[in-house]
Amino acid sequence: MKAYTEMTREELQEEFARMTAEYKRFQAMDLNLNMSRGKPCREQLDLSMGLMDALTSDADMSCEDGTDCRNYGVLDGISEVKELMGDMMENNPNNLIIYGNSSLNIMFDTVSRSMTHGVMGSTPWCKLDKVKFLCPVPGYDRHFAITEYFGIEMIPVPMSPTGPDMDLVEKLVSEDEAVKGIWCVPKYSNPQGYTYSDETVRRFARLRPAARDFRIYWDNAYTIHHLYEDRQEHLIEILAECKRAGNPDLVYKFASTSKITFPGSGISALATSLNNLEDIRRQMSIQTIGYDKVNQLRHVRFFGDISGMVEHMKKHADILRPKFEAVEEIFEKNLGGLGIAEWTKPVGGYFISFEALPGTARRIVDKAKKGGVTLTKAGATFPYGKDPQDSNIRIAPSYPPLEDLKTAAELFTVCVRYICIKKILENREKEEA
């Protein structure tokens, strides 16, 4: 089939009638499918059921150093789990703090602490006239929600397959003291699945911010979330690169086991410089006596070491890979060559980034919802929920069963074709008016 933009009005109207009939066929199925968030499916959660047996009522609850994990104490995490998470994050265990189940919670706390108490002795952000954050787009909606919650001005920065536009990042960071941070998902990014290039990471490490309290919020959520054994992408370790560049305090690096074990009861970690850690521990010592050490010990006993975690992630990949491949195959079969859409083909992570014709994303998502498939809200991948092109849609293949996912992807492509034909016809009418 030739591209829609090359079709005559009569050909488009004929195609529109066909898509209308297809859409009605899906509506008659009375579907109720959800692809709105990157949640692990039931089969993935089942992989970690051994966690429930890793500690029994007669288990030794002591760490190697004799710490009783049932009691108070150990503010920043037991040594065994620091070693495990350090190996996963490629960081020295001495540079880690272990938290609860959510890295998002750490990020929120980090921004909140900066607002009320500043960063390493700097002026609290709440006392400044203006605070700004750079936001690579399309990006992670929950990052943007944090900065919006605190009234921080968000500045979009375009993304490419190699990472954010570093010329723009360097310019904004070096010229404006109000720029205090940048959100990053550097490996298998949300939603595109991109991994920052070596050059991009090195340029991040060599930033010269106008603000001494500027920090890179390096959310390495998908550090070991590969889909293919033979196509794994490599990311330079940012803390080591910052140290080499003479910028040891520049980065807060976040990670968790949320999509490795149980999202509701995993563990998370922050890796950063010793100076930053000292600043953070001051707040933590007031906020908590320590996080769930029993859960930390449970994870260590379950995995054993990083090799156990890597083997575990291969099982996740075996479940996820067919889902990503099914979506990509359906997109190519139904949309390839039509000139109305593009999409990423990630080799890791949890999402596919879909670009439709400008001015159609919201209508496509609404049409899919009425047909029985819930997608991530259009605009969610941009600050304030406003995609200036109204073209980006985040596709999350992980949660539905494979056959349901195929049905959802087929319906989605029908919605894309239906709405894009309408848009092309509308554009032609305006041009002819």
Let me know if residue 348 belongs to a domain: yes
Other C-beta atoms lying within 10 Å of the C-beta of residue 391 = 20
Sorting pLDDT into bands at 50, 70 and 90, what band is 431? confident
Is a pLDDT exceeding 80 seen at residue 102? yes
What confidence score (pLDDT) does residue 231 get? 95
End residue of a domain, out of 304, 324, 355 = 304
pTM attached to this predicted model: 0.97
Contact present, 242 and 248 (Cβ < 8 Å): yes
Note whether 88 and 197 are same-domain residues: yes
Nearest to 349 by CA among 157, 261, 221, 258: 221
Contact present, 124 and 308 (Cβ < 8 Å): no
Note whether 349 and 374 are same-domain residues: yes
Let me know if residue 52 belongs to a domain: no
Rounded to an integer, what is the distance from CA 271 to the centroid of its chain? 18
Note whether 269 and 292 are same-domain residues: yes
- C-alpha to C-alpha distance for 114 and 335, rounded to whole angstroms: 46
Note whether 315 and 270 are same-domain residues: no
Note whether 200 and 244 are same-domain residues: yes
Domain tally, the chain = 2
Let me know if residue 50 belongs to a domain: no
Let me know if residue 119 belongs to a domain: yes
Note whether 40 and 69 are same-domain residues: no
Within 8 A by CB and 6+ apart from 154, the residues are 132, 133, 134, 135, 144, 147, 148, 383, 384
Let me know if residue 297 belongs to a domain: yes
Note whether 246 and 379 are same-domain residues: no
Let me know if residue 49 belongs to a domain: no
Q: What is the pLDDT of residues 214-249, one digit of tens each?
A: 999 999 999 999 999 999 999 999 999 999 999 999
What confidence score (pLDDT) does residue 89 get? 98
Note whether 145 and 199 are same-domain residues: yes
Q: What is the CATH number of the domain that holds 197?
A: 3.40.640.10
- Both tokens of 308, joined, read 């156990």
Note whether 286 and 414 are same-domain residues: no
End residue of a domain, out of 240, 269, 304 = 304
Say whether 179 sits in a helix, a strand or coil: strand
Nearest to 397 by CA among 306, 303, 328, 304: 328
- C-alpha to C-alpha distance for 314 and 228, rounded to whole angstroms: 8
Let me know if residue 58 belongs to a domain: no
Cα angle value 387/392/398 (rounded, 5°): 130
Note whether 83 and 36 are same-domain residues: no
Strands 251-256, 268-271: parallel, antiparallel or unpaired by DSSP?
Answer: antiparallel
Q: What domain range includes position 336?
A: 4-44+310-432
End residue of a domain, out of 304, 334, 359 = 304
Within 8 A by CB and 6+ apart from 170, the residues are 203, 207
What confidence score (pLDDT) does residue 432 get? 81
Within 8 A by CB and 6+ apart from 181, the residues are 111, 133, 134, 214, 215, 216, 217
Note whether 9 and 67 are same-domain residues: no
Sorting pLDDT into bands at 50, 70 and 90, what band is 429? confident
Q: What is the pLDDT of residues 39-70, one digit of tens each?
A: 999 999 999 999 999 999 999 999 999 999 99
Note whether 234 and 108 are same-domain residues: yes
Say whether 221 sits in a helix, a strand or coil: coil
Within 8 A by CB and 6+ apart from 158, the residues are 136, 137, 164, 165, 168
Let me know if residue 55 belongs to a domain: no
Is a pLDDT exceeding 80 seen at residue 1? no
- C-alpha to C-alpha distance for 127 and 226, rounded to whole angstroms: 43
Q: What is the CATH number of the domain that holds 359?
A: 3.90.1150.10
